[in-house]
């Protein structure tokens, strides 16, 4: 058997193995959720009625069914794109019409990415205007939704296309060590985008206004001072323009850092609960979760670029997908298309790490507040308001969830004020 045939079989096998795993995990979770659908578990009776619980069950199952359809579609499209010959034909067309300069090859990569993103548009639309609409979350209009997609396309053209050109030019400039230089360029771009996002990108999609003077603003400013968290401002974001889901986050670095509160969150929570939520976000900063994740992401990216450097020297890798060896652009595209398939199998480890960070940020918030009731109250309201799955199957949640379940967080929060016991548990 030729090596190219083996590669084709392995890649196709991994794509369908991922689909099988996704469908099995989904089935496992759905059965578990249905088994707990009859009666509201005692742990949730203090803050949720039976009707709200049944609604969260229905939302969970509806999203699960929709996700299954999307997973099957993706698993059909990806092998078709990789093995039908459409990619070699596309590269041949661009090479014939535009040549093989970095600008032309980047245009080819960009065009393929746009076409593939168009295939996912119907799912995005149905999710927003059918599923989210059915459960009362959608507040966006057709005009806003399509305008958002147009803005994303423009950003990809203004920022993504030049980055693709730079990546391909670096290959030509730096020889065998191109992968190291490309890694540095991409990391630098990501850091620059993180700095500019709150100033240039976020305002393109949402209106940010300073949190009005009043008791809430003063409480949050006092919180930033006593936690030594430097923030340029506290901004209110019109999240209700698109959805009734709520959130809070901080973005940017140094003097560009801002705290962002969804207007839906401010309407939903009390002052002390909002303070606890912001304290949780500050906890991520104080426990250095952001730089840890950035370092991990950078090291992972470096490993990916090194793997790409190894594979692009193998003629069998090109031939397995129908390309003639030589041009690095199609090899990079194939690897980018397969990144999700390979990354799927590492997601449980990454999510385990993320859940540890969430526990630590919860503990920080409890210790800063001197009590747990504010954060517990906020988590309960957010879970109920967002129709979160309160009874996921343990295997499903361990595989997919980047945050612990509500019950896990409440249980661990009770131990968080005892720092020694909490650290021993983690």
Query: Between the CA of residue 163 and those of 177, 181, 189, 190, what are the distances in Å?
Result: 18, 13, 8, 11
Q: CA 250 to CA 284: how far, in whole Å?
A: 10
Q: CA 397 to CA 357: how far, in whole Å?
A: 16
Strand, helix or coil for residue 236: strand
Q: Which residues contact 330 (CB under 8 A, 6 or more apart)?
A: 87, 88, 91, 318, 321, 323
Chain centroid offset of residue 200 CA: 20
Chain centroid offset of residue 368 CA: 28
Q: CA 62 to CA 254: how far, in whole Å?
A: 42
Chain centroid offset of residue 6 CA: 32
Residues that are catalytic:
281, 362
Strand, helix or coil for residue 208: strand
Under a CB-based contact definition with an 8 Å cutoff, are residues 34 and 61 in contact?
A: yes
Q: Which residues contact 86 (CB under 8 A, 6 or more apart)?
A: 80
Closest C-alpha among 350, 306, 358, 313 to residue 331: 313
Q: Which residues contact 5 (CB under 8 A, 6 or more apart)?
A: 320
Question: Measured in Å, how far apart are the chain's first and last C-alpha atoms?
Answer: 49
Torsion angle, alpha carbons of 400, 402, 406, 409, to 10: 130
Under a CB-based contact definition with an 8 Å cutoff, are residues 163 and 182 in contact?
A: no
Under a CB-based contact definition with an 8 Å cutoff, are residues 181 and 307 in contact?
A: no
Q: Which residues contact 295 (CB under 8 A, 6 or more apart)?
A: none
Residue 248 DSSP code = E
């Amino acid at each position: 058997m030729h090596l190219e045939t083996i590669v084709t079989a392995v890649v196709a096998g991994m794509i369908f193995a991922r689909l099988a795993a996704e469908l099995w995990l989904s089935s496992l979770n759905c059965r578990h959720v249905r088994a707990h659908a009859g009666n509201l578990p005692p742990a949730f009776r203090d803050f949720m009625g039976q009707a709200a619980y049944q609604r969260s069950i229905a939302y969970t199952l509806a999203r699960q069914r929709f996700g299954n359809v999307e997973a099957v579609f993706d698993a059909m499209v990806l092998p078709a794109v990789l093995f039908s010959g459409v990619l070699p034909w596309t590269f041949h067309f661009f090479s014939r019409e535009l040549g093989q300069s970095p600008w032309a090859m980047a245009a080819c990569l960009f065009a393929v990415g746009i076409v593939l993103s168009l295939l996912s548009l119907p799912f995005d639309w149905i999710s927003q205007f059918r599923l989210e609409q059915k459960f009362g979350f959608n507040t966006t209009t057709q005009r806003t939704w399509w305008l958002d997609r147009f803005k994303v396309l423009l950003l990809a053209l203004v920022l993504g296309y030049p980055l693709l050109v730079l990546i391909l030019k670096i290959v030509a400039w730096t020889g065998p060590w191109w992968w190291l230089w490309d890694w540095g360029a991409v990391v630098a771009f990501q850091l620059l985008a993180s700095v500019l996002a709150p100033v240039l990108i976020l305002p393109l999609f949402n209106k940010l206004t300073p949190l009005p003077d009043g008791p809430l603003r003063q409480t949050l400013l006092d919180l930033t001072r006593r936690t030594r968290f430097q923030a340029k401002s506290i901004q209110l974001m019109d999240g209700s323009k698109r959805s009734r889901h709520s959130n809070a986050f901080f973005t940017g670095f140094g003097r560009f850092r801002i705290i962002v509160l969804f207007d839906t969150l401010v309407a939903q929570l009390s002052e002390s609960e909002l303070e606890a939520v912001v304290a949780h976000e500050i906890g991520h900063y104080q426990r250095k979760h952001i730089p840890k994740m950035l370092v991990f992401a950078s090291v992972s990216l470096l490993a990916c670029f090194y793997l790409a450097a190894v594979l692009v020297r193998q003629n069998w890798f090109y031939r397995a997908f129908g390309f003639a060896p030589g041009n690095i652009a199609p090899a990079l595209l194939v690897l980018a298309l397969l990144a999700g398939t390979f990354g799927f199998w590492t997601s449980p480890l990454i999510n385990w790490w993320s859940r540890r960070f969430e526990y630590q940020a919860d503990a920080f918030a409890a210790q800063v507040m001197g009590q747990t009731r504010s954060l517990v109250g906020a988590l309960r309201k957010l879970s109920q308001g967002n129709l979160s799955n309160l009874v996921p199957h343990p295997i499903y949640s361990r595989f997919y969830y980047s945050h612990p379940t509500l019950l896990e967080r409440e249980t661990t929060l009770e131990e968080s004020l005892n720092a020694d016991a909490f650290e021993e548990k983690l």
